[in-house]
Structure 1
Amino acid sequence: MSATLLEPETTQQDVADEPSGSVCGVLAEFSGPKELLRAAEMVRDAGYTKTDAFSPFPIHGMDDALGIKSTILPVIVLVVGLTGCAGGLLMQWWMNAVDYPFLISGKPLFSLPANIPVTFEIIVLTSAFTAFLGMLGLNGLPKPANPLFEQERFRGVTDNKFFMYVAADDPKYDGQEVVELFHRAGATWVDDVPNSTSPSRLPGAIKMALLVLFAIALVPPLMIYRARHTTSEAPRFDFFPDMDAQRYRSAQQSSDLFADGRAMRPQVAGTIAVGDFHENDAFFLGYIPGEDDEAPADEPAPADAAAPAAGAPAANEPDYVTEFPVEVTESLMQRGQLKFNIYCAPCHGLAGQGDGLVSLRAIELQQPTWVPPTNLISPPVVAQPVGKIYDTITNGRRKMSGYAAQIPPEDRWAIVLYVRALQKSQHASLEEIPEDKAAVLKNQK
């Protein structure tokens, strides 16, 4: 091996004698990765730039040894991605706000958050194509034939061989100087690489196959174009029907699938739907079910015991809670005022006295079926426990329908708290009023 290193094998007596157009470069073999790394550094220091090194496994530091600079591909991908971002936003703005403005539920014609998904997809699409096509272009791919693959000795590069190559189109290329440089670097074998003898044109069979594939690829776009510009009485064909057409039953239809003949299935007895298990009865119902109507024996009956509603005996009423099952705070009071003004004030009035705008309008029109709303400040309502007022909001009373579907439990208790505040404001003594407010009232008298 040492003799081979001292006198490297050269298959031709003088590589420089070869015609410049008949070779594409010089290839040299080295005994190991260290020798290849050293040769790469020498070639780089000599000023050659169009070079490459080949080994059966990656060699640490080879990029620096060859003088390979960082690729510009990330910058290209960034620029194209930002261009796609701007183009996507501009496209959506033009379509939605300029070319075909369509107002939906008072929403703005163009809003940045609403257009982020499409913009993101365009960025990903343009960046991915740029990275793929840019990699091919910067690497000079595709390359149907490579002269190195025609070298019998070069095939060992995937096993245990190490090679260094200098291309003939390098600006500093001189065949004889490259050979001498490889000899000084310790090459065990040096030879020129003739130009590829493989035909540069694609075989006719491959051309025909590509032409057939191109013709087949045109069929779907042509079918879509025909469908968009022609009319037909036949139903459309869904390639991806998803859930557009389902064999489901409508309400109140019969079905022979079940023994009772009903398509609508009742709730299974003894089961509770997910999210409907309300363990705190005082909070969700306003009363304790299953207990006696009267207060428990170990607790005195409250002084403000509920007065029975008209036509409803007190014995049939549940055990309504008399204390708020939620923490009473200023924010809860403000929440109750907001919800009261939205849901209750149209009929009961802002002060709860039953003189809301809806009621006044019905009385003005002399509607025969109109029942005036309850005065929430009246003594019978004031005497009701908070649980009964909550139950009234939840399930309704007489002509008033329940609001359980519109108002969540927390907001119902907030409304009850605000009703209590309205009642307190109408029946409060002068001593219970703050001094600053009491002074104003005294001056008004």
Structure 2
Amino acid sequence: MSHTATAIDTRRTDGASDGGRRLHALLVEFETPSAIKEAARRIRDAGFVRWDTHTPFPVHGIDEQMGIQRTKLPLLVFACGAVGCLTGLVLQWWTNASNVDLPAALNFIRGYPFQVSGKPFWSLPANIPVIFELTVLFSAFGAVFGMLVLNDLPKHYNPLFRSQRFRRVTDDRFFLCVETADPSYDPQHTPALLRSLGGTAVEEVYDEPTPPAPTRIVNRVLVVLLCLALIPPAIIAKARVSRSDSPRIHLIQDMDNQEKFKTQRAYPLFADQRVMRLPVAGAVARGELGDDAHFERGIVGNGYAEQFPAHRPEVRLTAEFLQRGHDKYGVYCAPCHGFDGSGQGRINQRAIELEEPAWVAAAALTDAERRSRPVGHLFNTITNGIRTMGPYGDRISPEDRWAIVAYVRALQRAHYPRAGDLAAVENIGPRERDGGE
């Protein structure tokens, strides 16, 4: 492949202006990657620093030929991450664990230790998430803004964009550009060096003259407009710190003056002079049309129910109903209260073996206190929990809770039978007691 070089008008390569234009750089065009790599090596050896290569695709090895140093961006990212880590650490300690009295300081920069459930004011594991997030945030800022600064970005204009030949850099041509602002640039020797690189063309790239500065009249108009723009903020600032006898200007009447009554206010229309109204007698709240306090909460009137809700078809004291209570009791109750209701479940026994200091033994369901409780109280205990026992209302349906209560009553009856219970059992024949036909 033959290489030809065009002649350069060296009379205008000294950086002087040409008809108001200034020589910005010399652009050399190449056809192959190997040619531009060799040219880059020679320019590097010549000591130039303000120059660059432009290729349509990455050329392997050209970084070494250009003498490009390893980027400092990783060090910058590490430094920003360290600053973010230290910031998160100090910020949380200062705001949560310090109580330094600085009378001259503003309130929002003073420490304010806050006691939460007896926990320590300063605990490193609890502060790790915020430290981690600030480390990542500062590192990301360092990577993005550091890249922009190191690459001299953003830069929306470059004189190379005016070159018609340079447009082929995105297609099939390779270019090397040496700026006239380079300290090693010489109006006589640099053009000769570029011609000797074997490029297909060498082009002078001129920068267009800077547009003239705005006239004095334009500057005055801009100053006046700026002053006018400051008037609305000044009026708003004055209104915030002053009082006025005139009412406010309501731009949106429907929002500022709504047709409503605020709670706990007086109103002469009603006899009690109150805005708040009691619900109409017999009114039913939304979603409570089928509310049955006896069945769903174990409450009758103002107290706990003494009897099972027999009016509900789901609650029938039959053998099947007790068997259902037996099954649910074994799942939810037996681990703590034991299968016989004595309070010696496996969880309780294990806690005693481990000598857990905070463990509270489960109550015996067969003692006198629990036997005296109404069935509604037992139902409420299963629903909402009591003392260290958690609620099960969200896990057990109302009918299953009543089945458990019925089975608990059966356990209590088995431990403390009544006078007629043994006689009733004795009247059952042997085959019937043993399940015979």
Class of the TM-score when normalised by the shorter of the 2 chains? 0.5 to 0.7
Which of 162, 165, 183 in structure 1 is aligned with 2:174? 162
Distance 1:214 1:123 in 2: 42
Correspondence 1:105 to 2:117: yes
Cross-structure match for 1:147: 159
Output the amino acid matched with 1:185.
L
Residues 121 and 69 of structure 1, relative CA distance in 2, 3 Å threshold: same
Distance 2:145 2:223 in 1: 20
The structural deviation recorded for 1:106 is 2.6
Cross-structure match for 1:266: 288
Output the amino acid matched with 2:7.
T
Cross-structure match for 2:90: 90
Cross-structure match for 1:333: 349
Cross-structure match for 2:79: 79
Residues 339 and 153 of structure 1, relative CA distance in 2, 3 Å threshold: same
Which residues in structure 2 correspond to 1:184-203 (within 5 Å)?
Answer: 184-194=196-206, 196-199=208-211
Residues 188-209 of structure 1, C-alpha deviations (whole Å, 9 max, x = no match): 1123444552349699989999
Output the amino acid matched with 1:12.
D
Which residues in structure 2 correspond to 1:302-341 (within 5 Å)?
Answer: 318-319=322-323, 325=330, 331=347, 333-335=349-351
Residues 342 and 330 of structure 1, relative CA distance in 2, 3 Å threshold: closer
* Contact map agreement 1:147 1:194 (CA 8 A) in 2: yes
Cross-structure match for 1:27: 27
Residues 149-196 of structure 1, C-alpha deviations (whole Å, 9 max, x = no match): 344443443454431012334444345444344333321112344455
Cross-structure match for 2:54: 54
Identity %: 32
Distance 1:141 1:188 in 2: 31
Output the amino acid matched with 2:48.
Y
* Contact map agreement 1:26 1:175 (CA 8 A) in 2: no
Aligned partner of residue 71 in structure 1, secondary structure: coil
* Contact map agreement 2:37 2:65 (CA 8 A) in 1: yes
The structural deviation recorded for 1:68 is 2.1
The structural deviation recorded for 1:112 is 3.6
Residues 375 and 404 of structure 1, relative CA distance in 2, 3 Å threshold: same
Distance 2:237 2:135 in 1: 26
Aligned partner of residue 77 in structure 1, secondary structure: helix
The structural deviation recorded for 1:221 is 12
Cross-structure match for 2:141: 129
The structural deviation recorded for 1:341 is 6.0
Distance 1:92 1:9 in 2: 67
Residues 244-267 of structure 1, C-alpha deviations (whole Å, 9 max, x = no match): xxx9xx9x9759xxxx95333138
Cross-structure match for 1:138: 150
The structural deviation recorded for 1:8 is 0.7
Which residues in structure 2 correspond to 1:37-436 (within 5 Å)?
Answer: 37-97=37-97, 98=99, 99-143=111-155, 145-194=157-206, 196-199=208-211, 262-266=284-288, 318-319=322-323, 325=330, 331=347, 333-335=349-351, 342=360, 374=368, 396-397=377-378, 402-406=381-385, 407=390
* Contact map agreement 1:253 1:264 (CA 8 A) in 2: no
* Contact map agreement 1:9 1:190 (CA 8 A) in 2: yes
Distance 1:218 1:66 in 2: 56
Residues 35 and 14 of structure 1, relative CA distance in 2, 3 Å threshold: farther
Distance 2:288 2:204 in 1: 87
Distance 1:101 1:119 in 2: 19
Residues 192-247 of structure 1, C-alpha deviations (whole Å, 9 max, x = no match): 444552349699989999998999899899979987x8899x99xxxxxxxxxxx9
Show structure 1 runs of 5+ residues with no match.
236-246, 270-288, 297-316, 346-350, 355-373, 382-388, 425-445
TM-score of the pair, normalised by structure 1: 0.51
The structural deviation recorded for 1:94 is 1.4
* Contact map agreement 2:12 2:23 (CA 8 A) in 1: no
Cross-structure match for 1:284: none
Aligned partner of residue 26 in structure 2, secondary structure: strand
Distance 2:174 2:359 in 1: 86
Aligned partner of residue 166 in structure 1, secondary structure: strand
Show structure 2 runs of 5+ residues with no match.
100-110, 249-259, 264-276, 292-312, 336-344, 396-400, 416-437
Correspondence 1:11 to 2:33: no
Aligned partner of residue 178 in structure 2, secondary structure: strand
The structural deviation recorded for 1:71 is 1.8
Distance 1:292 1:344 in 2: 29
Aligned partner of residue 52 in structure 2, secondary structure: strand
Distance 1:56 1:81 in 2: 35
The structural deviation recorded for 1:96 is 2.2
The structural deviation recorded for 1:69 is 2.4
Aligned partner of residue 402 in structure 1, secondary structure: helix
* RMSD between aligned residues: 5.8
* Contact map agreement 1:291 1:318 (CA 8 A) in 2: no
Cross-structure match for 1:441: none
* Contact map agreement 2:27 2:178 (CA 8 A) in 1: yes
Cross-structure match for 1:286: none
* Contact map agreement 1:15 1:176 (CA 8 A) in 2: no
Distance 2:211 2:242 in 1: 48
Residues 401 and 29 of structure 1, relative CA distance in 2, 3 Å threshold: closer
Distance 1:167 1:216 in 2: 43
Output the amino acid matched with 1:129.
F
TM-score of the pair, normalised by structure 2: 0.52
Distance 2:132 2:224 in 1: 35
Count of residue pairs the alignment pairs up: 322
The structural deviation recorded for 1:9 is 0.4
The structural deviation recorded for 1:65 is 3.3
Output the amino acid matched with 1:130.
G
Residues 37 and 321 of structure 1, relative CA distance in 2, 3 Å threshold: same
The structural deviation recorded for 1:109 is 2.6
Distance 1:113 1:203 in 2: 63
Aligned partner of residue 185 in structure 1, secondary structure: coil
The structural deviation recorded for 1:54 is 1.8
* Contact map agreement 1:40 1:62 (CA 8 A) in 2: yes
